[in-house]
């Protein structure tokens, strides 16, 4: 089985598993340089009126060709929009950096998470 995950596969998968409030959008994935088996995807769930938040996911294909994912973070409490900073992979360790300008909370922030896939 192939471990290559296409941008379309990752985006469609997250669109299916992520929360939906009716006016949702799944952004194009970001892949680490030189890798096609893992990516990070941001999903925005909004109700089209006065409530919404962002989620960021790590998405990969395992050796059996199955799509796996993990929610890295969300902004349910702050309602801030999440932005990518960087994604790097070293073997089975993937590091994703992301943050926000504080779109709703008023305070900018940055985070970095490293996961094994």
User: Model confidence over 42-62: pLDDT tens digits?
Assistant: 999 998 888 899 999 999 999
- Look up residue 13 and give its DSSP letter: H
Those residues with Cβ within 8 angstroms of residue 84's Cβ, 6 or more apart along the chain or in another chain: 30, 40, 42, 96, 97, 98
pTM: 0.94
Residue 113 pLDDT > 90, yes or no? yes
CB 111 within 8 A of CB 98: yes
Residue 100 confidence class, pLDDT cut points 50, 70, 90? very high
User: Model confidence over 2-53: pLDDT tens digits?
Assistant: 889 999 999 999 999 999 999 999 999 999 999 999 999 999 999 888 889 9
Residue 104 pLDDT > 90, yes or no? no
Q: Would you state the pLDDT for residue 48? A: 86
Q: Is the dihedral of CA 73, 89, 115, 61 positive or negative?
A: positive
Q: Would you state the pLDDT for residue 91? A: 93
CB 20 within 8 A of CB 49: no
| Burial label, 34 (beta-carbon count in 10 A; 0-12, 13-18, 19+) | exposed
């Amino acid at each position: 089985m192939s471990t290559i995950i296409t941008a379309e596969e990752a985006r469609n998968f997250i669109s299916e598993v992520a929360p939906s409030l009716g006016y949702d959008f799944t952004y194009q994935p970001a892949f680490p340089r030189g890798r096609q088996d893992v990516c990070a995807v941001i999903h925005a769930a909004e109700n089209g009126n006065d409530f919404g938040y962002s989620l960021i996911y790590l998405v990969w294909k395992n050796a059996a060709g199955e799509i796996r994912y993990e929610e890295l973070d969300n902004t349910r409490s702050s309602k801030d929009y999440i932005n990518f900073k960087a994604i790097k992979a070293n073997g089975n360790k993937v590091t994703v950096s992301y943050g926000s300008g504080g779109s709703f909370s008023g305070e900018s922030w940055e985070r970095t998470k490293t996961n094994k896939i």
